[in-house]
Chain A
Amino acid sequence: MNSPTPILRADKICFSYNGEATILRDISFSIYAGESLGVLGPNGGGKSTLMKIIVGLLKPSSGELYFEEKPSSEFIKYPYDFFSYVPQNSELNTILPVKVSEYMSFTAALYKKQNDTDELLNLVGILHKKDSLISKLSGGEKQRVLLARALINRPKLLLLDEPTKGLDSNGQDQLLAIIEKIKKRDQTAVIIVDHNINQIVRNCHKILCLNRTYHWHNNSDLLTKNILEDVYHCEFEHLLIHENDLQPGKEKADHENHLFCDHDHSTDKETHSLMRRKK
């Protein structure tokens, strides 16, 4: 599956604000076309900072990013057309009455791809809201619009900072299904920052845990409960469910099928679908 050249390689990225406490130290990882990398960690662990470094909003104190093995410092202009970024809580300015189609046209005009916008809105299932004001859309619909906007330049790398924040579980599933569809369709590499450990472990090939230090997992199966507890500085119960346990006819979940649970528990979806901290 891996092509010989990673889409993005980070080599010993360090970052601190004005020489104050280090937020990122020696972060290294790589991601290939069609892969997804989930970034986990508590608040203040440096997840959004890492995203902002990758998209050029912040400069690393040291270390280098390589886009298809070309160092970012060698680009005359930062390679903005290489990736797309959907920021956390995307701070849209609600003072301006912007319609979905108008918002799409802002980016489309930059890439001269005015004709692709309907197709992308259709892909994320929001074409029927094309003439609506963005301020009137629900949280899930807004996220889909942001996602559609981010796809206009057909990015090789898509960066999503907490895309499921504020969405109910249905909304989260739908959005993640769309992201999966995009990944398969265009072989787009995706980096997702999210607090939902279950979603990340289920949907991402690779995991990066950040909490000032970092744990890198080339395969999400290598993530263990101990590592998560170390990263979040607390103990967990019910960290991950296996969908098999929720199949009809299964009476009792088999704890051996659980990646992070070491005890039997019911097949009630409610208790399974939540990652809970031990009281």
Chain B
Amino acid sequence: MNFIHSLQDFLQYDFLLYALLGTLFLSITCGLISPLLIARKNAFMGSAISHSTLLGLAIALSLFSSEKPFAIFLTTLVITILCTLFLAFSTYRQKLPTDSLIGIFYTATMALGILIHSAFAKNKTDLLSFLFGNILLLTKEDVLLSMAILAITAPLIIIPFKKWLFLTYDEEGAITSGVNSKFYHYLFFILLSLLIVTSIKLAGTILIETLLLVPGFFALKFANNVKQTFIISVLFSTFFALLGILIANTYGLPSGATLAVVLFIALVLSLVFKKIYTFLKSF
């Protein structure tokens, strides 16, 4: 019964409708990128980018007061993209494991961010609180922003879809067939930082990292071919993100955390059912 009332709320209140649409657009975008992020072994890079936003945010808050959210957003975006480009440059076709470099980089940028914030910020509020957005507080502009991110990301993934797959599956084969590996390497990280910076403002770091990792992981566990992988990832991401926001609203729970937990439970349950099914099938 509660659920039905909750559904009615989404149609009745603008802020809930915005939350629903924002979640829908974000989950589709993340569902599209997620299998690539995991298959390219860049999951840690996603974490590094989301944490390095702290440096951008600290610099932005030193330059602008918190009454200028758009200036803060743009500054954070530009600085995070610059950091990401440096990481992309340092990790392109490296033989040495890149996870250590990424780890060093993101702890260093976080630390630098905290120092800059404590020394120069115009508003000394808790810096970390900026990293935990609230999807239930989205405005119309935020929804348009999440739609714009989807409109930018989807064609850049779908049109050269086979090139992305070729590079991910057989990088040397793709390069020697003329695919510009360096271009796609940088493009992927720019798209990722664009998505993360925008989403953190809207949804918070927990939710965005969950949306970037869980759907792809689920799809790669269950899909039988490449197309299926991406379709399953988008459907899983969208369905459980919307279910999560519905539950959060029904029981008055924190939105980002609820969505993250719902996606995680869905993943664990499906893996358990798969194990049981495989076990029963063996008899």
Contact = CB atoms under 8 A, between A and B. Distances in A.
Interface of A: 55-57, 77-78, 80-81, 83-87, 90-93, 95-99, 102-103, 105-107, 109-110, 133, 146, 149-150, 153
A99 B229 CA distance: 12
Contacts, number: 90
A96 B229 contact: yes
A98 B165 contact: yes
Given A91-B172, A93-B39, A106-B166, A80 B226 contact: no
Contacts of A103: 169-170
Contacts of A105: 162
B236 to A, nearest CB: 16
Contacts of A56: 175-176
B100 interface: no
A111 to B, nearest CB: 8
B167 to A, nearest CB: 9
Interface in B171-202: 171-179
Contact of A77 (B41, B171, B178, B224): B178
B223 interface: yes
Contacts of A96: 35, 39, 165, 168-169, 220, 226, 229
Nearest to A95: B39
Interface string B212-233: 0000000010011111110000
Interface string B23-47: 0000000000001001101000000
A87 B172 contact: yes
Nearest to A88: B172
A55 B229 contact: no
Given A97-B225, A102-B226, A55 B176 contact: yes
Nearest to A153: B177
Contact of B225 (A55, A98, A110): A98
B229 A85 contact: no
A17 to B, nearest CB: 11
B173 A149 contact: yes
A137 to B, nearest CB: 14
Contacts of A106: 162-163, 165-166, 169-170, 174
Given A90-B170, A98-B226, A106-B169, 19 more contacts: A56-B176, A78-B178, A80-B177, A83-B176, A84-B176, A87-B176, A91-B172, A93-B39, A95-B41, A96-B35, A96-B169, A96-B220, A97-B226, A98-B165, A99-B225, A102-B227, A106-B162, A133-B224, A150-B173
A87 B177 CA distance: 12
A77, A96, A153 — most chain B CB neighbours (10 Å):
A96
15 contacts: A85-B173, A86-B173, A87-B176, A90-B170, A93-B170, A95-B38, A96-B39, A97-B220, A97-B224, A98-B225, A102-B226, A106-B163, A107-B166, A133-B224, A153-B177
A210 B216 CA distance: 45
Given A105-B162, A106-B166, A95 B176 contact: no
Nearest to B224: A97
Interface of B: 35, 38-39, 41, 162-163, 165-166, 168-179, 220, 223-229
Contacts of B170: 90-93, 103, 106
B150 to A, nearest CB: 23
Report whether over half of chain A's contact residues are helix, strand or loop; otherwise say mixed: mixed
B47 to A, nearest CB: 18
A110 B169 contact: no
Given A97-B224, A99-B225, A109 B172 contact: no
A100 B70 CA distance: 48
A95 B34 CA distance: 13
A154 B179 CA distance: 17
Nearest to A52: B172
Contacts of B177: 80, 84, 107, 110, 153
B69 to A, nearest CB: 39
A99 B225 CA distance: 6
A109 B224 contact: no
A80 B178 contact: yes
B37 to A, nearest CB: 11
Contacts of B175: 56-57
Contacts of A97: 220, 223-226, 228-229
A149 B174 CA distance: 11
A87 B173 contact: yes
B28 to A, nearest CB: 20
Nearest to B93: A57
A99 B223 CA distance: 11
B214 to A, nearest CB: 15
A55 B176 CA distance: 6
Contacts of A102: 165, 225-227
